Structure formats: structure tokens, C-alpha cells
Structure 1
């Protein structure tokens, strides 16, 4: 949503709010206050893709009915809400033209080399797929790939880092309001040996037996470090106990 600069040669008809996006089978709802002079209402004209809508916009609230245009899902929509000087209508659902997660998972697979593949249908807009792995008693984001965003069948592939023991993965999409849609999870038992670590007091480094994704939290649960590798510099951390999450486990690491 964007606001135009004032247009000074149109008297009190100065502003325009522009919403751009893709049709998501939803209408747009607008709160429409009184102008400064108290005469009439703030909005005086609404256009959809350049066409003036026949709907009544002279009220405290109104609905922009997009169904009447017979748009296809994902079709581009530009809405112009023109309003008087000194006031501005409020779009009540500004994410109404933003894509929402609607994908269906046709299949999802994980092989022993760490290649995660999934097949989808029914996407209604381009949203990123976030690859998540279940470890450390939570779902952890481990990758991201752009979704294509139309209803056809699509194939995706992402290389993940396997851990020792049980591996569980899924993909999710988040919409612009923070809501998520999740796939089913897929699991694999790997033959990777269980990782270990040592703390080198001289170099102030934590050294893992193999490269791994890791997180370091203090005793209050605050995240201090996060990354991937086989060596973690902890020279900037105070001498204390920390929770070290790596591979498929969380251990106490004493930096005293």
C-alpha cells in the first residue's frame, strides 16, 4: 500500500491510496471517515485496474467487491482509493491482495544424501517455502526457496544437512500476517556418527568432530551465537555455563 503526494490543482480532492497485488478471492474493506469540513465522506472515487467501481463509497465503511470483475486467482489488481484533503480512509485488510499459503503437498521425500524433494499443487501466490528440521526439541529453519505461485503441479528440491540418528523435515509457508501452512513431515534414519565437541581454553574455541549447525544459549535462554561449522569462537562470551545445541542434541558447555 502506498500514498501519493498531494495534488494541488484539484481543490479538496488531493489524495490517493494505491493497493497493488494479486487477486486472492477476497474483497477489500475500507473505513471511511468524515473530512475536516464535516461534509460528506473522505473517499470520493475508487478505481480497480483503471475502471471506476459502481459500488457505493459514500458511507462510514464500504466494501470493494472484486468478484464482479471475474478475476482469476493470481491476476494482477491495482486499486486506487481517491480521497479529499485532510483525511484518509483506512484499508481494513491491506493484505487482501497478498498471497496466502494454499499449497497442497502431492509428495515429499528425503534421501540418504540429504536431498529433500517435494511436489505441490494449488499455490495461489508466490511465497517462499521455508525448510525446517526438527531438532533440539523444536522446529529450526534450515533453508528457504522461492515458491512459483500458480495452481499447477510444481517440483522443488533442496539439499539439507543431515544429523546423526533420526532426521525429520517439513516445509512451511508464512503469509504476510504471520500465519503458516505446514506440510507433512518426512523422516530418515541416518548413518552419520554422533558428533562430539571439546572446548579449547587456550584458543577459546569450541571444536566439533564434524561441521554442524549450532546454537549457543545462556542459562536464561538468550541466544548468544548461531551458525554452521566445526569451530566456534567463544572469546567474546563471559566465563559461564552455556547450552550448546549441535547435531541432534543439546549439552552444557562450561567456559569457566
Structure 2
């Protein structure tokens, strides 16, 4: 099921001149039966908002109040709506409930399976503007290893690459506003098969570190604070300051020195 894939909240924050004396704040979505509430900062000589348009219709002029409501009740349910707030250049109004222009989310995972090295899942309530992430637990932290665009069909499969030992995976569904929905976790235990532990070099790094094979990794400060993470055989480290750091790989941590 698709949740209005062509209409989703777009906080554009356009800084466009309005007759040479202001800027515009633009929101787009659909009418869900709710109005928008706007915080209107005070500025020298008055308040921030100059006027408000809904679908090119002027609905409010100058608003002399720190908080106001944009009435959308003249629209029909599920009508597309574009709200333009014209405001002074030295301030920006804040819409407190932008989610009012997005329909309720009814997403859920139906099933998740790990078949060897292929992760499969089904879901319903998707929105094609959202994305899936395949996440793997590495050294106690969830690391995103793949991103997949939503097709709207609700059926997915993708290969995963296991490390020696216990591998734990989950699927994350990220909606436009940044909220995540997580699947159940799936485990796969890969026993050693004469596979040597991942090696790295050099231990005294100038700008780049090399791993003996492609694996998930993390770069940590000596106190354990995460600096960066990823998956690959080369790690760019030129941005680090001189000092001692930790490489976390294959559930172990190794010290190295950045010149």
C-alpha cells in the first residue's frame, strides 16, 4: 500500500527574494484535516511574517502575534496543498507541526528471513519517498551497510556478506521526517574456515589505512568515542589529528598512531 507517494512534506526553506524585501518559507503536502501552527518571532518594529498563501491564495496578511494558526479547513480531505509564508529576511517563522501535511503512517514489517547470505523481507504501508537500510551489529553498534529505495511492492531480497563469528542483522525503514521503524533481528554464525583474522597496515598512518579484506570497521578515539564507521578495504584518515586511536574490526580493537 502506498501512502500518497507524490505528496510528502518538503521543508524547502527557500531564501528567495519577495519583491526585494523578504524571503519565503514553503511547505507542501496533503490536507489531512489539520491546520498548521506557526511560531512568529518578534523583530524590530513588529513580527516576522509578512503574509501567508495557501495554493496561491492569500489567507493571511501581516500577523501581529508571536503564535498563529493557518486555517486549511476550506480544503477537501487529501487535497494537495502548498503553503508559502512570506517573511522578513532577518528572521524565520517556525511551523510547529509540519507533520500535519503528511498522512498517518501505517507501515509495518510482515516477515524477515535470512537464507544463507540472502536477507529477505516483506512489508506493507510503504511510501516510495522513503528508504530501507540493511544494518549489521558491529562492536555493539548498528552499522548501515546497504541502502535500498522503496519500490512500493513490499517484497525485497539482498545479499549480505558475513564475517567470521556471529553476525546480527536488522532492516531499518526510514520515513521522510527521519523516523525509523526496525525489523526483528536475524543471526548467522559463520565458523572459521582457515580464514586468517583481518590484518591492517600501516600502524603509523599518514593519510590512509588498508585492510586485508573488505569488512565493516569503526575508528574510535582512545576513550572509545566513535569517530567514523564504514565497510571496505581502505580507510581515509587524513582528517585525524596526531595521536593514538583504535580500529574496531571483527569484534576486536587494535591501536594505531596517526602521524
Alignment TM class, shorter chain as reference: 0.5 to 0.7
Q: Answer yes or no: is the 8 Å Cα contact 1:36–1:86 preserved in 2.
A: no
Quote the RMSD (CA, aligned, Å): 4.5
Kindly state the Cα deviation for residue 54 of structure 1 after the two structures are TM-superposed.
Answer: 8.0
The aligned runs of 1:158-173 (5 Å cut-off) are 158-173=158-173
Q: Answer yes or no: is the 8 Å Cα contact 1:164–1:190 preserved in 2.
A: yes
TM-score, with structure 1 as normaliser = 0.67
- Name the CA shift for 1:55/1:155 in 2 (closer, same or farther; >3 Å): farther
The aligned runs of 1:135-150 (5 Å cut-off) are 135-148=138-151
1:129-152 CA deviation, whole Å, 9 max, x = no partner?
Answer: 22211121121111112235xxx6
Kindly state the Cα deviation for residue 66 of structure 1 after the two structures are TM-superposed.
Answer: 4.0
> Which of the pair has more CA radius of gyration?
1
CA distance in 1, matches of 2:43, 2:245: 59
- Name the CA shift for 1:180/1:61 in 2 (closer, same or farther; >3 Å): same
User: In the alignment, what sits opposite 2:4?
Assistant: none
1:184-225 CA deviation, whole Å, 9 max, x = no partner?
Answer: 2223334564651446679987654x5322234352335577
Which contiguous aligned blocks of 4+ residues in structure 1 show a shift greater than 6 angstroms? 98-101, 200-206, 231-241
User: In the alignment, what sits opposite 2:16?
Assistant: 4
Kindly state the Cα deviation for residue 29 of structure 1 after the two structures are TM-superposed.
Answer: 1.6
Q: Answer yes or no: is the 8 Å Cα contact 1:133–1:169 preserved in 2.
A: yes
User: In the alignment, what sits opposite 1:22?
Assistant: 29
Kindly state the Cα deviation for residue 117 of structure 1 after the two structures are TM-superposed.
Answer: 2.4
Kindly state the Cα deviation for residue 103 of structure 1 after the two structures are TM-superposed.
Answer: 2.4
Which one of the candidate residues 245, 250, 253 is aligned to 2:252?
250
Question: Where do 5+ consecutive residues of structure 1 fail to align?
Answer: 9-13
Aligned length in residues = 239
Q: Answer yes or no: is the 8 Å Cα contact 2:129–2:176 preserved in 1.
A: no
Kindly state the Cα deviation for residue 166 of structure 1 after the two structures are TM-superposed.
Answer: 2.6
User: In the alignment, what sits opposite 2:157?
Assistant: 157
User: In the alignment, what sits opposite 2:96?
Assistant: 93
Does 2:135 correspond to 1:132?
A: yes
